[in-house]
Structure 1
Amino acid sequence: MSAHQHVQSPATTWAEEADLARWDDDGAPPAQPRSSPNAWLRVGAELGDRLVALSGRNDLLVTCRPGTRSGAPAAYFPTLGEVEFDARLFAPLQPHEIHPRIMGDEERYPAAWGVLVHEAAHAAHSVWTQPAGADPRVVEAALLLEESRVEGAHLITRPTDRTYLRTSARTLIMPDIDRPTLQGIEHTAGVAALILGRRDAGILDAGETRAVADLCEKVLGADLLATLSRIWTAAHQCADHDATAMLAHGQNWCDALDAAAPALPVPEDLVDLLSGAVVVVMDSTAATDAADLAAQNAATRAVAAKSKAQAQDRAQQAAQRRKAAATAKSVFNRDDTSAPSSNPVTGTRRPTAAEKSAAARLSRALRAAAYRERTTERTTSPTPPGRLNMGRALARDAQRAAGSVPTAQPFTRTRRRNSPSPPLRVGIAVDVSGSMSAACKPVASAAWIVARAAALTDPDSRTATIAYDRHLTALTRPTHRAPERVTLFKANGGAHNLSAAMDALDHGLELSRPGTGRLLVIVTDAVYTADETDAAVTRVKQLTAAGCAVLQLTLTAESRHLPGTTLLHLPRPSIAPAAIATAATDAIRRTR
């Protein structure tokens, strides 16, 4: 085998390259000139920069030119501190297309990069030197074991390089199989060391190397293969500087082969059998790597698609927030002169005594629901202030008398803190299409009662009411002051725009922001078109996901239910104020 040629003694001189013959007028395409060796100087320099991280050494030179002095795709010269690299490994890329200094550029030439990683493993871990007078056959066996040992050692510090080492195995091993320097049983043993040794080092998988394992067992026998396996496994545990141990393993390798070789028949077509088995292994590893790469690319595309979808969703939400802000501004800041021609407001009236009484009762109920018990926090300490616990004090004295560090803390302090009462946010959206006439009076009364009660409960509580058909009209606005009069309105509109009303109430009252008791009341029969229903349901889902309660009040049996809302059917419209008050109380009670 020639696997050991990746670690070389001092180099020979470069052979001069022959000039290309030029075709004048024979009709053939112009000949493509070879890349000049000088064009690869930059590539070699950049490979040297990356070799520092791969090998942990900054004293190495990388030369990259077409062809190598050793004849191998790449070689490491310990005495010269040089790694030579065959530029043909980058084919079909040209020098100007290769930029190893850029992180990630190696993904375009994994085979070449895998060979560089292999040589980096030699540079980092092949640091033992053969003593003078050592048996060349033993040294060659030790260098054969060195191939998988250095790759296994490299994986310990750089496990992510496994993919490239698998790729380099296909580039480095096949030439050694096809043009062996060893014959017969030693050739088979060398194949086992290169393939199965990498299996045991964690480079290749057991399933991928089954063809070589079966053939080697058939040719070498189970006993000899087990002996060789123990030798290369022991070599994997050797320290980088332990030349004595590596040569001992090389000697054991030679002894095992010498003892078993005379009794083992050698098949006439052994080279072809080994080449075929190795091809199966290489094809299997290539298929595995391709599948892994496809899975990785699919995962990358999935992550990119998810990120893109999230970015689009954020952009859509931002656009919706901007639109909601503009809608809220146009609705709540509009004066009477700019109201639409279909304005449903018919006037105002003074609240009745019953409405004032209902507002006072609701205010008391809201304050009771918003009340939070004081939180109690107990802490212990070795020193005052606090209440003295005699048991802990005696334990502390005992610890001190025993000469140990006192850990008992005899003083207990209790702190009670008031919990802030959450404010209330209530938005009411009332449908003023022609089918909702029965809701006008009770909802007008309910809007004033809720707004009045919220103002009496907490100065930070706010409510708002919007009447919607095709247009939006504010009946009460989200201010800290309660309205003085009840706003009256009529229901004779056409079409529906509930989604815009919900956006305006959400922005004006901050219904999507936690920390308050939030409630949205929708008074409607929900007899909408499919597009209107879908837009409304989307807003309902967003609000409920944010923790805002959404209540739908219906007045007729023909009413439909908006998915996601809590449906409450009122057989008598007059009880709508009480139903809204109860829902508001529950909302603030559930607030944490």
Structure 2
Amino acid sequence: MSARHHVQPAATTPDDDADLARWDDDGAPPAQPPSSPAAWLRVGAELGDRLVALSGRQDLLVTCRPGTRSGAPAAYFPGLAEIEFDSGLFAPLQPHEVHPRIVGDEERYPAAWGVFVHEAAHAAHSVWVEPGGADPRVVEAALLLEESRAEGAHLIRRPMDRKYLRTSARTLVMPDISNPRVQGIEQAAGVAALILGRRDAGILDAGETKAVAGLCEQVLGADLLATLTGIWTAAHRCADHDATTMLAHGQSWCDALDSAAPALPVPEDLTDLLSGAVAVVADIMAANDAGDLAARAAADNAIAARSRAQAQERAQQAGQRRKAAATAKSVFNQRGGTVTPDGAPAPSENPVTGTRRPTAAEQSAAARLSRALRAAAYRERTEERTTSPTPPGRLNMRQALARDAQRAAGAVPTAEPFTHTRRRSSATPPLRVGIAVDVSGSMSAACGPVASAAWIVARAAALTGPDSRTATIAYDMHLTALTRPTHRAPDRVTMFEAEGGSHNLADAIDALDHGLDLSRPGTGRLLVIVTDARYTGYETARAVTGIKRLSAAGCAVLQLTLTKESLHLPGTTLLHLPRPSSAPAAIAKAATDAIRKTR
């Protein structure tokens, strides 16, 4: 078992100079002078700051210096309320490179931090004190059981420290097993307590300790090992202050070994066998820890990659919004001219040919559509029912009788016999309708009906409420605003012609989206695209990106076509119109369905 325990009585010779002279003159090269003890004072003070969180105590002192009084890498002195720490645990780091006060700095020296966590566990949980006159062998056994008990109790409070306790066990506790203080059966039992006890405390995994478990069963026998397992398992449940129970477990430990030792043969090479089994455990632990570290690193990398992707996506979205705002500003200009994709005035002629007064049929259609939209947007008043023990409200006789029965029985009345209904009107959502009209040469037959439809929808939407808005953009390679996103419908119908070449639907969608807030929930939103969709692959891909973005935001997207040879834009609801004159009715129906979806 381990050569030293980490809970020490008060030191009787705390002479630091004597520590430096503890080396025997055995002919080896003289020891190199360690780092200046004063340089490690800061490290000890910072360890003390972190110890408050690890142990829950504020009365402890941490001293860090080259070497320790106890000879162990670290030790806890209950009588002095002190933890001493060997600065050599931080090797090869120098004092100026160690900053424990910084949370996360411990990742650079996990083994040293694991030792510190172990001592913090003793400081928090090893608070029982052996009475005077106790058998030293029993106390020794109880302290052996205390090693895994303290770590298990600490793990319950701070499960995140498990990886450090594992590193400490693998790099310091296990190598120390090759230097036993006892021999024979007690040595095997001590190894079982240190390794298998940590297994049962949750520090080590059962699969990692099979080599030690198998060897200890061969040496100790299944019955004795089961007895010892029961003792350290019972010790794990012992209270921190219960010295009587811990010493009782220590006595049971000694009794079990004394009764079984005479009948158990001891292998001559027991120390080598135990060291080899422990080395196997350490190798398996190292592999598992490396695998866990790689898995955590992969998970952290995945999270970082996802964060970078999200940041890049947000940056792209912000750039897209800025571009859409610039496009909308240039398209919906006060001059009423045609603009290029970059916002400059287009050199080609404006497709707008003039305006005309709406016909009586168009005015009647706008009125009918307005009534249909208001009916679609109407929402029933909501009802909220509450109960109370006193009026006002409608009396519920069953609850009234129940309340009388409760009062008669001497109980506190809880029944509430009065029901009050509160009715509230629901807000009617406004309407947003954007219309994008393809004015390339193949769309000349749709100019008249679509111009009429744009005016009808704009007029009807304005009549539904002051917050409803529509806008129409004619696009080929350039963009022209036929109607602008204002609260007031135009008095006249804007006429246009379709003689352009190429297509720029993507920028038209961006301008309508920004001008009408088609991506923002809370309104009935509809985008109508009148086109035969005979685009190049690049033009189609850009348009489909904008369509999918609006669809994902809850905006209905409708594509109107006039010929059977028209292509379908992915992400849109395709509506074929063999007669251009039916375009206003089709748009009206789609707008009605869109506003109904906001309920």
TM > 0.5 fold call: yes
Unaligned runs of at least 5 residues, structure 1: 19-30
Deviations 1:22-41 (A, max 9, x none): xxxxxxxxx99742222111
**CA 1:205 to 1:464, structure 2 compared with 1: closer, same or farther past 3 Å?**
same
Q: Distance in 1 between matches of 2:451 and 2:282?
A: 81
Q: Distance in 2 between matches of 1:395 and 1:114?
A: 64
Any conservation in 2 of the 1:3–1:144 contact (CA below 8 Å)? no
What is the match of residue 52 of structure 1?
Answer: 52
What is the match of residue 354 of structure 1?
Answer: 361
Question: How much has 1:135 moved relative to structure 2?
Answer: 2.1
What is the match of residue 117 of structure 1?
Answer: 117
Question: How much has 1:61 moved relative to structure 2?
Answer: 2.0
User: Is 1:425 aligned to 2:432, yes or no?
Assistant: yes
Question: How much has 1:71 moved relative to structure 2?
Answer: 2.0
Q: Which AA in structure 2 matches 1:502?
A: I
Any conservation in 2 of the 1:541–1:564 contact (CA below 8 Å)? yes
Deviates more, 1:85-94 or 1:205-214: 85-94
How many matched pairs? 580
Q: Which AA in structure 1 matches 2:85?
A: F
SS, match of residue 226 in structure 2 = helix
User: Is 1:579 aligned to 2:586, yes or no?
Assistant: yes
In the TM superposition, 1:234-273 aligns within 5 A as 234-273=234-273
Q: Which AA in structure 2 matches 1:205?
A: D
Unaligned runs of at least 5 residues, structure 2: 22-30, 339-344
**CA 1:373 to 1:55, structure 2 compared with 1: closer, same or farther past 3 Å?**
closer
Question: How much has 1:183 moved relative to structure 2?
Answer: 0.6
In the TM superposition, 1:472-511 aligns within 5 A as 472-511=479-518
**CA 1:259 to 1:509, structure 2 compared with 1: closer, same or farther past 3 Å?**
same
Any conservation in 1 of the 2:351–2:496 contact (CA below 8 Å)? yes
Q: What do you get for the CA RMSD once the two structures are aligned?
A: 1.9
**CA 1:246 to 1:464, structure 2 compared with 1: closer, same or farther past 3 Å?**
same
In the TM superposition, 1:56-455 aligns within 5 A as 56-336=56-336, 340=346, 341-455=348-462
SS, match of residue 354 in structure 2 = strand
What is the match of residue 6 of structure 2?
Answer: 6
Q: Which AA in structure 1 matches 2:166?
A: R
Any conservation in 2 of the 1:366–1:588 contact (CA below 8 Å)? yes
Deviations 1:184-233 (A, max 9, x none): 11111110010001111111111111110000001111011011111111
Q: Distance in 2 between matches of 1:50 and 1:416?
A: 59
- What's the TM-score, normalizing by structure 2? 0.93
- What's the TM-score, normalizing by structure 1? 0.94
Q: Distance in 2 between matches of 1:414 and 1:175?
A: 77
Deviates more, 1:521-530 or 1:327-336: 327-336
**CA 1:171 to 1:382, structure 2 compared with 1: closer, same or farther past 3 Å?**
same
SS, match of residue 177 in structure 2 = helix
Any conservation in 2 of the 1:342–1:493 contact (CA below 8 Å)? no
**CA 1:536 to 1:361, structure 2 compared with 1: closer, same or farther past 3 Å?**
same
Deviates more, 1:76-85 or 1:198-207: 76-85
SS, match of residue 485 in structure 2 = coil
**CA 1:431 to 1:268, structure 2 compared with 1: closer, same or farther past 3 Å?**
same
What is the match of residue 24 of structure 1?
Answer: none
What is the match of residue 549 of structure 1?
Answer: 556
**CA 1:417 to 1:2, structure 2 compared with 1: closer, same or farther past 3 Å?**
closer
Deviates more, 1:403-412 or 1:427-436: 403-412
Any conservation in 1 of the 2:559–2:569 contact (CA below 8 Å)? yes
Q: Distance in 2 between matches of 1:252 and 1:266?
A: 21
SS, match of residue 151 in structure 1 = helix
Any conservation in 2 of the 1:3–1:173 contact (CA below 8 Å)? no
Question: How much has 1:565 moved relative to structure 2?
Answer: 0.4
Any conservation in 1 of the 2:337–2:350 contact (CA below 8 Å)? no
Deviations 1:517-551 (A, max 9, x none): 11100011111122211111111111111111000
SS, match of residue 391 in structure 2 = coil
Q: Distance in 2 between matches of 1:310 and 1:531?
A: 25
Any conservation in 2 of the 1:478–1:509 contact (CA below 8 Å)? yes
Q: Distance in 1 between matches of 2:100 and 2:594?
A: 63
What is the match of residue 27 of structure 2?
Answer: none
Deviations 1:353-410 (A, max 9, x none): 2222222221222222222222233322222222233333333223222222222222
Any conservation in 2 of the 1:83–1:119 contact (CA below 8 Å)? yes
SS, match of residue 68 in structure 2 = coil
Deviates more, 1:270-279 or 1:413-422: 413-422
Any conservation in 1 of the 2:19–2:67 contact (CA below 8 Å)? no
Question: How much has 1:3 moved relative to structure 2?
Answer: 4.8
